[in-house]
Amino acid sequence: MVTQVESLNKLTTVVCDTGDFNAIKKFAPQDATTNPSLIYKAAMMEEYASVVDEAVAYGNGDVSVTMDKLAVAFGTEITKIVPGYVSTEVDARLSFDKDATIAKALELIKMYEEVGIKKERILIKIAATWEGIQAAKVLEQFGITCNLTLIFSIAQAIACAEAGCTLISPFVGRIMDWYKKSQGVEGYAAAEDPGVMSVTAIYNYYKKHGHDTIVMGASFRNTDEITELAGCDRLTISPPLLDQLSSTQGSLPLKLDAEKAKAMDIPKIEMTENTFRWMMNEDPMATEKVAEGIRGFAKDIVKLEQIVQDKINAKNKKAGLVREGIRGFAKDIVKLEQIVQDKINAKNKKRRTR
Tens-place pLDDT, residues 141-175: 999 999 999 999 999 999 999 999 999 999 999 99
Q: Is the pLDDT of residue 190 over 60?
A: yes
Higher local confidence (pLDDT), 29 or 316: 29
Residue 165 burial (CB < 10 Å; 0-12/13-18/19+)? Answer: buried
Q: Is the pLDDT of residue 48 over 80?
A: yes
The SS3 assignment for 141 reads: helix
Q: Is the pLDDT of residue 71 over 80?
A: yes
Q: Which residues contact 116 (CB under 8 A, 6 or more apart)?
A: none
Residue 226 burial (CB < 10 Å; 0-12/13-18/19+)? Answer: buried
Q: Is the pLDDT of residue 324 over 70?
A: no
H or E element in which residue 208 lies: helix 194-208
What's the predicted TM-score (pTM) here? 0.86
Q: Cα separation of 104 and 86, whole Å? A: 17
Q: Please, are residues 144 and 119 in contact by the beta-carbon 8 Å criterion?
A: yes
**Radius of gyration, alpha carbons of the chain:** 27
pLDDT of residue 342: 77
**% the chain with pLDDT above 70:** 96
Q: How large is the greatest C-alpha to C-alpha distance in the chain, in angstroms?
A: 119
**In Å, what is the CA distance from 211 to each residue of 71, 161, 205, 208?**
30, 6, 8, 8
The SS3 assignment for 235 reads: strand
Quote the DSSP letter at residue 93: G
The per-residue pLDDT for range 246-278, each reduced to its tens digit, is 999 999 999 999 999 999 999 999 999 999 999
Q: How many CA atoms lie within 13 A of 173 on its CB side?
A: 14
Query: How sure is the predictor about 290, in pLDDT bands with cuts at 50, 70 and 90?
Result: very high
Q: Cα separation of 193 and 187, whole Å? A: 8
Cα dihedral sign, 125-131-136-138: negative
Q: Please, are residues 42 and 19 in contact by the beta-carbon 8 Å criterion?
A: yes
Q: Is the pLDDT of residue 195 over 60?
A: yes
pLDDT of residue 325: 66
Q: Is the pLDDT of residue 40 over 60?
A: yes
Residue positions annotated with a catalytic role: 125
